């Protein structure tokens, strides 16, 4: 059984007992999180597609870690103008483990 969920503006295909790094979720480490934006659920024989989400369906996940991603360098330059700007950014990420997929 797998599901397609939406969190942090991105879509992920998840199955039970999979690990995932998603955009920051405000929850403590060890807490259970319910993700209700379930776009599709399939159990091999039957597939349910939402319009846009499936009412009553949810994916339960456990928060394993709160951390930061790799540094992304932003470099701006204008040729021949002595204009250079260098910035860095590290996105806040949450590592979750999918524990249960509940269909409607």
In terms of Cα–Cα distance, which of 47, 63, 90, 48 is closest to 7?
A: 63
Total structural domains within the chain:
1
Q: 36-76, pLDDT tens digit by residue?
A: 999 999 998 999 999 999 999 999 999 999 999 999 999 99
Residue 44: per-residue pLDDT = 87
Q: For a pLDDT cut of 70, what percent of the chain falls above it?
A: 100
In terms of Cα–Cα distance, which of 8, 38, 4, 5 is closest to 23?
A: 8
**DSSP 8-state code for residue 57:** -
Give the confidence band of 30 by pLDDT, cuts at 50, 70, 90: very high
Residue 104: per-residue pLDDT = 77
Give the confidence band of 23 by pLDDT, cuts at 50, 70, 90: very high
- CA dist 37 and 100 (Å) reads 14
Q: Could you give the count of Cα atoms lying within 13 Å of 74 in the half-sphere of its Cβ?
A: 5
Give the confidence band of 25 by pLDDT, cuts at 50, 70, 90: very high
Which pTM does this prediction carry? 0.85
Q: Give the range of the structural domain holding residue 65, as residue numbers without chain letter.
A: 2-102
Dihedral angle, C-alpha 13, 17, 23, 27, nearest 10 °: 140
């Amino acid at each position: 059984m797998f599901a397609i969920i939406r969190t942090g503006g991105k879509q992920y295909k998840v199955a039970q007992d999979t690990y995932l790094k998603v955009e920051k979720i405000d929850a403590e480490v060890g807490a259970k999180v319910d993700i209700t934006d379930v776009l599709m659920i399939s159990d091999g024989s039957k597939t349910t597609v939402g319009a846009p989400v499936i009412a009553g369906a949810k994916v339960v996940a456990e928060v394993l870690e709160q951390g930061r991603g790799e540094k992304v360098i932003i470099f701006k330059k204008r040729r021949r103008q002595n204009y250079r700007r260098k910035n860095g950014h590290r996105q806040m990420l949450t590592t979750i483990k999918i524990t249960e997929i509940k269909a409607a």
